[in-house]
């Protein structure tokens, strides 16, 4: 006589643990069947993401996006292919990733005659998640420098400028919430040094300038935003 009885759940429990920005682990209560439960099928929304052989009741989930809410559910199946219809479900929101401290070498503030080293970069979590980035090599002119138009962005999450020269300093000025981009607010990057900030106003501009009296120098600029 064919088996037509579907598996049932006496308790519908699904718990997420070890939740990070991109991964988590799901654990659920076991189902029962008149013969035996053979498989647990895990869904993210309506999409199956993995089959787990009973009696195992856990699954590591990867490939998630930070700051996103997901709904997971579990379905129990027996050897005849009968599937439960009342399995447990859970909603989980992944956190925004913590941001590391980055040691910055060779960056000084012109406001204190380049005597104040900017050695720690500790950004806050993004309020708007970045979706794209631009990487460019810029020829930093002398005198008035070279402007980089950032108005194409709605939001800028990160700006990085690296001095590619091995002998000449690079001056960087940025329009942000605290000041206008002018000669009064300039950071100086030593040869091979790196400048990083999360405080950039998209409608403004970034200016890079060679400090050599007659020669332009190259720098690498990376803008991350949306």
Which tens digit of pLDDT belongs to each residue from 136-155? 898 989 888 888 888 878 88
The pLDDT of residue 66: 79
pTM for this predicted structure: 0.50
Contacts of 112 (CB under 8 A, 6+ apart): none
pLDDT at 51 over 50: yes
Q: Is residue 75 within 8 Å of 8, Cβ to Cβ?
A: no
The pLDDT of residue 32: 95
3-state secondary structure of 110: helix
Which tens digit of pLDDT belongs to each residue from 64-112? 887 889 999 999 999 999 999 999 999 999 887 554 444 444 444 454 4
Lowest-pLDDT range, 2-6, 49-53, 161-165, 179-183?
Answer: 179-183
Q: Is residue 129 within 8 Å of 223, Cβ to Cβ?
A: no
Average pLDDT across the chain, whole number:
81
Domains in the chain and their CATH numbers? 14-93 (2.60.40.10), 102-225 (2.60.120.770)
| E strand residue ranges, the chain | 14-17, 24-28, 37-44, 47-53, 58-61, 69-78, 89-93, 102-103, 107-109, 120-121, 132-140, 146-149, 156-163, 170-174, 187-189, 194-197, 205-210, 217-225
Q: Is residue 112 within 8 Å of 207, Cβ to Cβ?
A: no
The pLDDT of residue 121: 45
The band of 25, judged by pLDDT with boundaries at 50, 70 and 90, is very high
Q: Is residue 59 within 8 Å of 41, Cβ to Cβ?
A: no
């Amino acid at each position: 006589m064919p088996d037509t009885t579907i598996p049932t759940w006496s308790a519908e429990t699904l718990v997420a643990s070890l939740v990070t920005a991109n991964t988590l682990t799901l654990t659920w209560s076991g189902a029962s069947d008149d013969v035996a439960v053979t498989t647990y099928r895990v869904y993210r929304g309506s999409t199956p993401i993995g089959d787990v052989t009973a009696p195992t009741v856990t699954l590591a989930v990867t490939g998630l996006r930070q700051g996103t809410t997901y709904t997971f559910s579990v379905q129990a199946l027996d050897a005849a292919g009968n599937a439960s219809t009342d399995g447990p479900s859970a909603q989980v929101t992944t956190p925004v990733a913590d941001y590391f401290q980055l040691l910055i070498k060779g960056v000084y503030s012109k406001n204190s005659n380049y005597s104040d080293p900017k050695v720690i970069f500790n950004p806050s979590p993004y309020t708007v998640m970045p979706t794209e980035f631009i990487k460019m090599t810029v020829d930093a002119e002398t005198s008035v420098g070279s402007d980089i138009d950032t108005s194409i962005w709605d939001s800028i999450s990160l700006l990085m400028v690296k001095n590619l020269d091995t002998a000449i300093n690079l001056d960087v000025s940025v329009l942000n919430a605290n000041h206008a981009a002018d000669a009064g607010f300039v950071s100086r990057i030593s040869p091979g040094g790196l400048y990083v900030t999360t405080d950039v106003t998209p409608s403004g501009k970034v200016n890079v300038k060679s400090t050599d009296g007659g020669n332009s120098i190259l720098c690498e600029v990376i803008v991350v935003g949306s």
